[in-house]
A = this chain, B = another copy of it.
Amino acid sequence: MSFYMPAEFEKQQAAILIFPERPGSWGYGAEPAQKVFAQIINTIAKHEHVYVIVSDKTRGAAEKLLPGENITLLDIPADDAWARDTAPTFVRDRDTGEVRGVSWRFNAWGGTYDGLYAHWERDDALAEEFCRRAGFGCISAGDFVLEGGSIHTDGEGTILTTEACLLSPGRNPGMTKQEIERKLCEMLGADKVIWLPRGIYNDETNEHVDNVCAFIRPAEVVLAWTDDRSDPQYELSAACLEALGKATDAKGRKITVHKLPIPDIPVCVTEHDLLGYEFEEGEDTREVGERLAASYVNFFFANGIVLLPQFGGENAESDRRALGIMRELLSEREVIPIEAIEIIKGGGNIHCITQQIPL
């Protein structure tokens, strides 16, 4: 057996999403978020199958908002709706074509060190349970803590990740950087890890790579960017650009970097947002004025399309700029803009709530 992780931009058999309900992530009874999730699911379902994980509480809304074909609802317990981080990471056998799910240990982005909620048992169990219910073989990563959003691959032996996240004290403090690298290569059938130092400013995942940099094809990435040196993102993006400039991939190629500017106007938590949340004991709370980690890099590839976050309002022009860049870079696909403000308020974006299953 020779399993490896195909790239997200390769052909997919399905996508996975979890219908949102957690009151501390999704304000106002999660209704505004559910509408956007439904729009995303219905859009993807035109191109491939979608598994939607629901609960007793969300099944009704899901059935109503997702009337179309190509969608399978699965009752699986979950603590929140970040399928990228809690659903399996899928790998394919190079010889037989068999697809299996990798189940990482999940600790809510940092466990007792700086995790975002106090209980994550259901999220931790979700990947294995999904494999069982959907009929995929499951490969356990043992005690190794990882979220799917903290890695990207080119499908040709290269893994892209950030030091900020994978070396964070709340993940695998008993492993050295070299040991973590070996574990990634072993689990994902890869030969090389490219380490970016940082991610997006104020990203509560400890700066997942999927919010700052993504492969659009082998040896070619987009990088979240700002030219404003007084913006705290400047230094972080500049450090990533420097690392990418020095890097070569598993096949020895240099990486072409396309800058994808972040929204010109910081997207922040409003008073109205705050009134809508209900936080539990031990859960990370929000504050009015807190800057959200808004980035256009958090897009999702599905068959023939890419779903691109848009933030609207004062950022209409930034939105159009990002859409223009992505359409130029990915002329072979349809780039579909999605109003994602209700997702970023939950702490992530379109890539964070989706997970692909390769063909």
Contact = CB atoms under 8 A, between A and B. Distances in A.
Contacts of A113: 163, 197-198, 239
A149 to B, nearest CB: 17
Interface of A: 112-114, 163-164, 167-169, 173-179, 197-198, 230, 232, 235, 239, 284-285, 287
A173 B173 contact: no
Contacts of A287: 230, 232
Given A112-B197, A114-B197, A284 B235 contact: yes
A39 to B, nearest CB: 33
Which 7 pairs from chain A and chain B are nearest by CB?
Answer: A167-B169, A173-B177, A163-B169, A174-B176, A113-B197, A167-B173, A176-B176
Contacts of A197: 112-114, 169
5 contacts: A113-B163, A113-B239, A167-B167, A174-B176, A176-B176
A239 B169 contact: no
A278 to B, nearest CB: 15
A114 B175 contact: no
A227 to B, nearest CB: 15
Contact of A164 (B164, B169, B232, B284): B169
A208 to B, nearest CB: 14
Nearest to A165: B169
Contacts of A176: 173-176, 179
A150 B78 CA distance: 38
Contacts of A167: 167-169, 173
Contacts of A169: 163-164, 167-168, 177, 197
Given A169-B163, A169-B167, A112 B239 contact: yes
A163 B206 CA distance: 14
A287 B230 CA distance: 8
Nearest to A171: B167
A112 B163 CA distance: 12
Given A167-B169, A232-B287, 14 more contacts: A112-B197, A113-B198, A114-B198, A163-B173, A167-B168, A167-B173, A169-B197, A173-B176, A174-B176, A174-B178, A175-B176, A176-B176, A176-B179, A235-B284
A15 B227 CA distance: 45
A153 B61 CA distance: 57
Identify which of A174, A175, A178, A197 gathers the most chain B CB atoms within 10 Å of its CB.
A197
A47 B232 CA distance: 43
A176 B176 CA distance: 5
A313 to B, nearest CB: 22
A57 to B, nearest CB: 27
B177 A174 contact: yes
A164 B168 CA distance: 8
A257 B177 CA distance: 35
Contacts of A235: 284
A284 B230 CA distance: 10
A302 to B, nearest CB: 33
A112 B246 CA distance: 14
A238 to B, nearest CB: 10
A15 B131 CA distance: 62
Given A112-B239, A114-B197, A175-B176, A230 B285 contact: yes
Nearest to A172: B176
